[in-house]
């Protein structure tokens, strides 16, 4: 078995690659940086440039599944230029993959899975979203995810299964939002955002990596929510982080207006509320390792602290 992964060097991609190698699954990966191309330890890199539609077709040799994670981070100021980059990076990647697949024999490929995001769901404090929801959030993020999934849907013309995994707040200390939350709390200046009542549908990085592989292994089709079973409010999330790092929460909640002054339109992602269901993928047989925020945060944060202690002992 061999999986082709785009975005393999990112937070989620790294976790999936590690899971694959732990299970002796070979990985081909596409990168826009030629110096990152390598061929060893079951990992083989290939160059591509989605912006120009360029891709090395040799990347598909021996491949039985494709996982697409390519896309510029949304955690940057939403200037006109950055908005274009955020959207086009996702669409260009999918279009380049689709064009390449049209040129090769795809009979050995059984599954295509692409990342998506729960940002497609409308902001709401009381709605409980499933994959059946038709309404789309009227924000830039809603627009991006909607167009992203329209491109993913075009892959259904191929004979392999096609799925989209709508990723929620990823809990990892190797990247994403959690480190930016932990640092100020450790420094006694952490606080919840706005009312703090906005729902955060989260998932442990290990469970998310396992979900992508689970979808590939079972050739699942359609849309799935990449979130854990028990969403929490921002107030609860911040409180639980503070307890894990053993710090008091001293400051009042941070006003939305202040964050908009600092971050501009991008501050929307700090206050958006989506309470999202994980029931569909559970009904397919997926079992979460981390169902509750307490155990998930303890594992992620304490594991990072242990790594830091080992580093200090070895290098300080």
pLDDT (tens place) for every residue of the chain, 316 residues total? 999 999 999 999 999 999 999 999 999 999 998 888 888 889 999 999 999 999 999 999 999 999 999 999 999 999 999 999 999 999 999 999 999 999 999 999 999 999 999 999 999 999 999 999 999 999 999 999 999 999 999 999 999 999 999 999 999 999 999 999 999 999 999 999 999 999 999 999 999 999 999 999 999 999 999 999 999 999 999 999 999 999 999 999 999 999 999 999 999 999 999 999 999 999 999 999 999 999 999 999 988 765 544 333 333 3
| pLDDT number for residue 306 | 59
Domain annotation for the chain: domains and CATH numbers: 2-306 (3.40.50.720)
Q: Where are the alpha helices (DSSP H) in 34-118?
A: 80-101
Q: Which of 216, 259, 68, 241 has the alpha carbon at shortest distance from 149?
A: 68
User: Which position has the token pair 């640092």?
Assistant: 183
Closest CA to 32 of 75, 81, 93, 82: 93
Residue whose C-alpha is closest to residue 200's, from 296, 282, 114: 296
Helices (H), the chain: 11-22, 80-101, 140-153, 178-186, 205-217, 234-244, 256-263, 268-271, 279-283, 293-315
Q: Which of 200, 126, 136, 131 is nearest to 169 (CA)?
A: 200
Q: Which helix (H) or strand (E) holds 200?
A: strand 199-200
Give this prediction's pTM.
0.94
Helices 205-217 and 11-22: crossing angle in degrees, nearest 10, is 60
The pair of three-digit structure tokens given for residue 119, joined into one six-digit string: 């940002």
The whole-number pLDDT of residue 35 equals 84
* SS3 of residue 174 by DSSP: coil
- Both tokens of residue 101? 């697949």
CB 105 within 8 A of CB 155: no
Alpha carbon 287 to its chain centroid, in Å, reads 19
Cα distances (Å, whole numbers) of residue 76 to 72, 73, 269, 315: 9, 7, 11, 33
Distance CA 219, CA 69 (A): 18
């Amino acid at each position: 078995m061999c999986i082709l992964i785009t975005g393999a060097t990112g937070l989620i991609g790294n976790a999936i690659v590690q899971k694959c190698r732990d299970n002796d699954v070979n990985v081909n990966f596409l990168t826009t940086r030629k110096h990152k191309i390598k061929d060893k330890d079951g990992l083989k890199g290939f160059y591509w440039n989605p912006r120009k539609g360029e891709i090395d077709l040799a990347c598909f040799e021996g491949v039985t599944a494709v996982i697409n994670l390519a896309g510029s981070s949304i955690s940057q100021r939403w200037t006109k230029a950055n908005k274009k980059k955020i959207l086009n990076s996702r669409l260009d990647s999918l279009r380049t993959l689709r064009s390449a697949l049209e040129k090769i024999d795809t009979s050995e490929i059984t599954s295509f899975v692409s990342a998506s995001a729960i940002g497609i769901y409308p902001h709401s404090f009381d709605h409980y979203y499933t994959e059946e929801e038709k309404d789309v959030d009227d924000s830039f993020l809603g627009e991006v995810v909607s167009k992203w999934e329209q491109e993913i849907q075009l892959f259904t013309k191929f004979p392999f299964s096609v799925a989209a995994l709508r990723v929620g707040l990823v809990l990892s200390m190797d990247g994403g939002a959690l480190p930016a939350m932990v640092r100020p709390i450790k420094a006694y200046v952490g606080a919840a955002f706005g009312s703090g009542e906005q729902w955060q549908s989260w998932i442990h990085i290990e469970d998310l990596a396992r979900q992508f592989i689970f979808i590939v292994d079972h050739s699942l089709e359609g849309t799935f929510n990449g979130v854990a079973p028990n969403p929490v409010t921002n107030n609860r999330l911040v409180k639980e982080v503070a307890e894990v790092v053993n710090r008091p929460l001293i400051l009042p909640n941070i006003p939305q207006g202040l964050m908009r002054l600092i971050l501009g339109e991008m501050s929307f992602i700090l206050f958006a509320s989506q309470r999202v269901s994980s029931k569909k993928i559970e009904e397919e047989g997926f079992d979460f390792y981390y169902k509750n925020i307490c155990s998930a945060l303890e594992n992620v944060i304490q594991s990072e602290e242990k790594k830091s202690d080992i580093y200090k002992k070895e290098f300080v």
